[in-house]
Amino acid sequence: MSGGMIPGLMMDEFGRPFIILRNQQEQKRIIGNDAIKSHIVAAKNIANTLKTSLGPKGLDKMMVSSDGDVTVTNDGATILKLMDVDHEIAKLMVQLSQSQDDEIGDGTTGVVVLAGALLEQAEHLLDKGIHPIRIADGFELAAQCAVKHLETIADSFPVNPDNLEPLIKTAMTTLGSKIINKCHRQMAEIAVNAVMAVADLEKRDVNFELIKVEGKVGGKLEDTMLVKGVVIDKDFSHPQMPKELRDVKLAILTCPFEPPRPKTKHNLDVQSVEDYKELRKYEQEKFASMVDKVKATGATLAICQWGFDDEANHLLLQKQLPAVRWVGGPDIELIAIVTGGRIVPRFEELTSEKLGKAGLVREISFGTTKDHMLVIEECENSKAVTIFIRGGNKMIIEEAKRSIHDALCVVRNLVTENRVVYGGGAAEVSCAIAVAAEADKISSIEQYAFRAFADALESIPLALAENSGLSPIETLTEVKSRQVKEVNPALGIDCMLNGTNDMKQQNVIEALRSKKQQILLSTQLVKMILKIDDIRSPNDGM
């Protein structure tokens, strides 16, 4: 090796180092604008898939899993979660929708459509020779301008527990595009009443942990109800136990009703009938002792996380101590919160102070299959509520759960920040006009990005008009010109053909927080995508 060579590097005969990439023959590398355009194509494909699901007349998607499970939904986050995407940028779009769902709970379709439209506009600017960094910076400035404009057009929204009508109308806006809009108002009322039951209006806080959504196949969607308490998918452990208990004291146990096993590696050999009888007597004494310990505290109902055998069950019936077995961890925690009880891991630690209290525990049966469920109501901490959804099949119940979740999130957002903008694309059109006007004041090259951002914002009302069977360009042009003439930011797309474009009259309302989050999240993602100019991955992954 010559003195000038670097140790550890392989050189050719001219002293140049070899550059070795693992599996180089399987790698495909794209750099520069080609890479950015590859991202844009992937993102546009995802956005175009979701675009037809936007708005009250949006279409549903049927997703079939590898196991053959069928999901029918128009919830953007769910569609993307169930889509099998390979492209890295497509995966980012899935995460974008998921983050909107986690943070706000509504607008999961709109945020992806807006991101796709921004990237489409960015492609035109790249073709004009504008550097991607200048485009990204221009988009960010335009997003800040749009958010400031939203603040100026937002209206204050009354959140009054004595007058829930405005909240119900807002929840109805959210449910307008869902499969459950046949019982539109009923579902909106359930969502509003559930949130108001657990809301702390002084602190402007809503604890979603206290709202449980349960579903059971059978009955109609109209049979859905709100229970002021907890519904658990269990029944009393013995069919002869009473089906209704009043002024209940609950022992919440995470220890099983069974004799302790010897905690050793040795076996227990039973060699004679006397030994067996002695063992049996020991087990019976242990069972009786456990039940007596629970009874001694004054408990009138035992909720047990684990199961117990027929002997223990029979003994519980004899001693007149109703019990429920195999109650899961989350349910146990919720019961403890609702009843004010303590979860007890050992019988020795059970005292009367640790018992939970409930006014009524009843077993309900329904449907032709006579399914049973337990309802715990009239509790001291009566804040916890359960939305009990009924439906003809599992698919409808799952979609109803997603729809109710969206409505709950919207009402929660209004409780935490009671400012709203108007839907139907009205806010987007108003922002587009404001951003385009701001572009005229900019002398730098960012003005192109501003105008492109304004065009991208118009993709939402365009998609709403198209999905409603209207002529997209004509409808949008009319609404834009009227907004400028009448200085009315509440004018949007009349998707339901009610005869007026004024979304204030139609009560089509969206939380300001949701709209701001949509614009900011989609802009952040687009900015990140425009800054990636190098991809290297196996051929089959592209």
**Residue 350 and residue 235 share a domain:** yes
Q: Are strands 301-304 and 244-253 parallel, antiparallel or unpaired?
A: parallel
Spatial CA neighbour of 432 closest among 377, 373, 477: 477
Give catalytic status of residue 109 as yes or no: yes
Task: Please tell me the pTM assigned to this model.
Answer: 0.77
Spatial CA neighbour of 509 closest among 118, 148, 153: 153
- Find the helix or strand (DSSP H, E) in which 422 lies: strand 419-422
Q: Is residue 208 part of a domain?
A: no
Q: Is residue 52 part of a domain?
A: yes
Q: Are 302 and 323 in contact (CB under 8 A)?
A: yes
What CATH number is attached to the domain comprising 64?
Answer: 1.10.560.10
Q: Is residue 201 part of a domain?
A: no
**Residue 450 and residue 307 share a domain:** no
Q: Are 1 and 512 in contact (CB under 8 A)?
A: no
Residue in 108, 173, 300, 523 annotated catalytic:
108
Residue 459 CA to residue 50 CA, distance in Å, equals 13
**Residue 145 and residue 281 share a domain:** no
DSSP 540: G
Q: Are strands 229-232 and 371-379 parallel, antiparallel or unpaired?
A: antiparallel
Range of the domain at 99: 28-156+422-538
Spatial CA neighbour of 226 closest among 250, 182, 195: 195
Q: Is residue 236 part of a domain?
A: yes
Domain count, the chain: 2
Give catalytic status of residue 108 as yes or no: yes
Average pLDDT over residues 32-53: 85
Residue 84 reports pLDDT greater than 90: no
**Residue 248 and residue 348 share a domain:** yes
Q: Which residues pair with 29 in a beta bridge?
A: 536
**Residue 110 and residue 43 share a domain:** yes
**Residue 458 and residue 336 share a domain:** no
Neighbours of 216 (CB within 10 A): 19
What CATH number is attached to the domain comprising 370?
Answer: 3.50.7.10
Neighbours of 422 (CB within 10 A): 27
Residue 197 CA to residue 156 CA, distance in Å, equals 22
Residue 482 CA to residue 471 CA, distance in Å, equals 17
Residue 406 CA to residue 73 CA, distance in Å, equals 13
Give catalytic status of residue 75 as yes or no: yes
**Residue 123 and residue 246 share a domain:** no
Alpha carbon 463 to chain centroid distance?
24
Split at pLDDT 50, 70, 90, the class of 505 is confident
> Tell me: the pLDDT tens digits for 247-295?
888 899 888 877 666 666 666 677 788 877 887 787 777 778 888 888 8
> Tell me: the pLDDT tens digits for 182-229?
788 888 899 999 999 888 888 888 888 888 888 888 778 888 888 888
Contacts of 237 (CB under 8 A, 6+ apart): 308, 313, 316, 322, 323, 324, 325
Residue 324 CA to residue 328 CA, distance in Å, equals 11
Select from 361, 381, 401 the last residue of a domain: 381
**Residue 358 and residue 502 share a domain:** no
Residue in 52, 71, 75, 523 annotated catalytic:
75
Q: Are 323 and 237 in contact (CB under 8 A)?
A: yes
Q: Is residue 358 part of a domain?
A: yes
Output 88 or 481, whichever has higher pLDDT: 481
**Residue 435 and residue 375 share a domain:** no
Average pLDDT over residues 294-309: 86
Select from 352, 381, 410 the last residue of a domain: 381
Q: What is the pLDDT, as a whole number, of residue 372? A: 81
- What is the identity of the amino acid at 226? L
Neighbours of 264 (CB within 10 A): 7
Q: What is the pLDDT, as a whole number, of residue 150? A: 92
Split at pLDDT 50, 70, 90, the class of 461 is very high
The helix-helix angle for 459-467 and 108-127 (nearest 10°) equals: 120
Select from 349, 381, 413 the last residue of a domain: 381
Residue in 101, 106, 331, 406 annotated catalytic:
406
DSSP assignment string, 135-162: HHHHHHHHHHHHHHHHHHH-EE---BTT
Q: What is the pLDDT, as a whole number, of residue 542? A: 39
Q: What is the pLDDT, as a whole number, of residue 11? A: 66
**Residue 428 and residue 341 share a domain:** no
**Residue 371 and residue 432 share a domain:** no
Q: What is the pLDDT, as a whole number, of residue 540? A: 40
Q: Is residue 97 part of a domain?
A: yes
> Tell me: the pLDDT tens digits for 327-363?
888 888 888 888 888 888 888 888 888 888 888 888 8
**Residue 150 and residue 89 share a domain:** yes
Q: How does the average pLDDT of the chain come out, rounded?
A: 83
End-to-end CA distance of the chain: 42
3-state SS, residue 392: coil
Q: Are 354 and 299 in contact (CB under 8 A)?
A: no
Neighbours of 35 (CB within 10 A): 17
Residue in 109, 300, 339, 475 annotated catalytic:
109
Backbone angles phi, psi at 8, to 5 degrees: 90, -10
Q: Is residue 180 part of a domain?
A: no
Q: What is the pLDDT, as a whole number, of residue 2? A: 47
Residue 115 CA to residue 89 CA, distance in Å, equals 12
Q: Are strands 301-304 and 323-324 parallel, antiparallel or unpaired?
A: parallel
Spatial CA neighbour of 114 closest among 410, 422, 428, 403: 428
* CB half-sphere exposure, 25, CA atoms < 13 A: 0
Cα-Cα-Cα-Cα dihedral sign, residues 473, 476, 481, 484: negative
Split at pLDDT 50, 70, 90, the class of 385 is confident
Residue 76 reports pLDDT greater than 70: yes
Q: Is residue 86 part of a domain?
A: yes
Contacts of 131 (CB under 8 A, 6+ apart): none
DSSP helix, strand, coil percent of the chain (3-state; round to 5): 50, 20, 30
Q: What is the pLDDT, as a whole number, of residue 383? A: 76
